[in-house]
C-alpha cells in the first residue's frame, strides 16, 4: 500500500511539472522570429485555429516598458504583431471615443492595456481593453482612430 501511495505521489508531481513545460516551436518558426527580432528573448505558446491550423505565439519585451506578441503559422509565416502602447499614442478619435463611452469613475480607470497591431497584409489596428457594467471588452479601431467594433471577452 505504501508503494502505491508513493507511486501516486510521484505520478502527480510529474503531471504538475509537465504543466510548466517549455514549448519549442518548429525550426522554421524560430528562424523567422530570429530574422525579424534578433537578440530578443521569447516565450512561446500554441494557439489553435480553425480545423488543423496551429499558430505559435511569441511574447517578448519590445523595449524596457512595453511587451509585444508575434504570431506565426506552423510554416513560420508571419501573421501579426501586437505591441503594447500608452493611451497617448492612440489616434485622437480613439482617445475621445474611449473617454466618452468608458469614462473613469473615481479612481477606477476603465481602460486597461492598449495594443497597436499590424497583420501580414499590413492592416493596422488599435485594440483597447475596457470595462463597462462589470464586463470586459476589446474595443477595435482602424489606423485613423475610427471605431470598428467591440468584442466582449468572456472570462472563464
Q: What per-residue confidence (pLDDT) applies to 49?
A: 82
The total of structural domains in the chain comes to 2
Could you tell me if 53 and 100 lie in one domain? no
Q: Decide if 11 is inside a domain.
A: no
Structural domain boundaries, residue 65: 24-80
Do 39 and 91 reside in the same domain of the chain?
no
Q: C-alpha angle with apex 63: 87 to 27, nearest 5 degrees?
A: 120
Is residue 143 a contact partner of residue 98, using CB atoms and an 8 Å limit? no
H-helix or E-strand spanning residue 132: strand 124-132
> Is the pTM for the entire model greater than 0.85?
no
Whether residue 95 is predicted with pLDDT greater than 70 in this model: the reply is yes
pLDDT digits (tens, 9 = 90+) for 47-56: 888 888 899 9
Statement to judge: residues 67 and 93 lie in one domain: no
Q: Mean pLDDT in the chain?
A: 84
Calculate mean pLDDT across residues 64-68.
87
Say if residue 16's pLDDT is above 70: no
- Structural domain contains residue 65: yes
The C-alpha angle with vertex 21 and arms to 51 and 73, in degrees rounded to 5, equals 30
Residue 4 located in a structural domain: no
Q: Which helix (H) or strand (E) holds 17?
A: helix 2-19
Amino acid at each position: 500500500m505504501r508503494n502505491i501511495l508513493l507511486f501516486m505521489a510521484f505520478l502527480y508531481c510529474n503531471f504538475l511539472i509537465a504543466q510548466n513545460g517549455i514549448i519549442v516551436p518548429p525550426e522554421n518558426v524560430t528562424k523567422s522570429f530570429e530574422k525579424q527580432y534578433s537578440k530578443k528573448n521569447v516565450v512561446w505558446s500554441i494557439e489553435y485555429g480553425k480545423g488543423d491550423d496551429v499558430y505559435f505565439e511569441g511574447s517578448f519585451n519590445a523595449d524596457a516598458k512595453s511587451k509585444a506578441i508575434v504570431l506565426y503559422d506552423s510554416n513560420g509565416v508571419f501573421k501579426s504583431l501586437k505591441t503594447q502602447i500608452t493611451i497617448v499614442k492612440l489616434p485622437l478619435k480613439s482617445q475621445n471615443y474611449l473617454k466618452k463611452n468608458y469614462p473613469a469613475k473615481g479612481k477606477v480607470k476603465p481602460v486597461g492595456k492598449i495594443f497597436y497591431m499590424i497583420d501580414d497584409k499590413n492592416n493596422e489596428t488599435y485594440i483597447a481593453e475596457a470595462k463597462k457594467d462589470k464586463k470586459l471588452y476589446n474595443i477595435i479601431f482602424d489606423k485613423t482612430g475610427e471605431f470598428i467594433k467591440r468584442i466582449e471577452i468572456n472570462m472563464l
